[in-house]
Amino acid sequence: METDSTARDLEIVRTLKAPRRLLWKAWSDPDLLKEWWCPKPWKTDVKAFEFRPGGAFHTYMTGPLPNGEQGESDNPGCFLDILPEERIVCTSMLTGGWRPTEPWIGITSVFLLEDTPDGTRYTARCMHRNGDERTKHEEMGFYDGWGTMIDQMDAFALSLS
């Protein structure tokens, strides 16, 4: 039933300089998360951050579009799984209290942290509800966007030490 499911995924795996403890700190506090969550000069407003399975996770981002106008991206969602310093899973398919919703893009994101001899291995996997949204997400600049977020997160986490 799920034989082709990974064809609906986008994934970035990177080895980071910051230790897991500081990356977790940067991730698990909304006042810190907003500093690195979206590629600058876009800004993140964290509208909900109930850091537990079933808790609301809602980011609202604003910034300049290529045409110079102000853009926005509203992303209500829900945390699904949290394993301290190891794993965070969240989705746009549900909002707080696991309530189903109608997202503009239907994704579940999985973030994994692992120690390696060379640094912290960070996996950011984005699973889509269909291939069209996966393609659209890639064309919107997934690899650049999430890659920049990861650079910003690593640098910001290091600054916390």
Interface with a second copy by CB under 8 A: which residues?
Answer: 1-2, 5, 8, 47-48, 53-54, 58, 76, 80-81, 89, 91-102, 106-108, 110, 127-130
Nearest residue (CB) to a second copy, 38 versus 127:
127
Listed residue (133, 83, 85) closest to 107, CA to CA: 133
CA–CA separation, 156 vs 26, rounded Å?
7
The conformation of residue 2, written as its DSSP 8-state character, comes to: -
Nearest residue (CB) to a second copy, 29 versus 133:
133
Tell me how far, at minimum, the Cβ of 17 lies from a second copy, in Å: 29
Strand, helix or coil for residue 41: coil
Nearest residue (CB) to a second copy, 40 versus 99:
99
Q: Is residue 116 within 8 Å of 3, Cβ to Cβ?
A: no
Tell me how far, at minimum, the Cβ of 68 lies from a second copy, in Å: 30
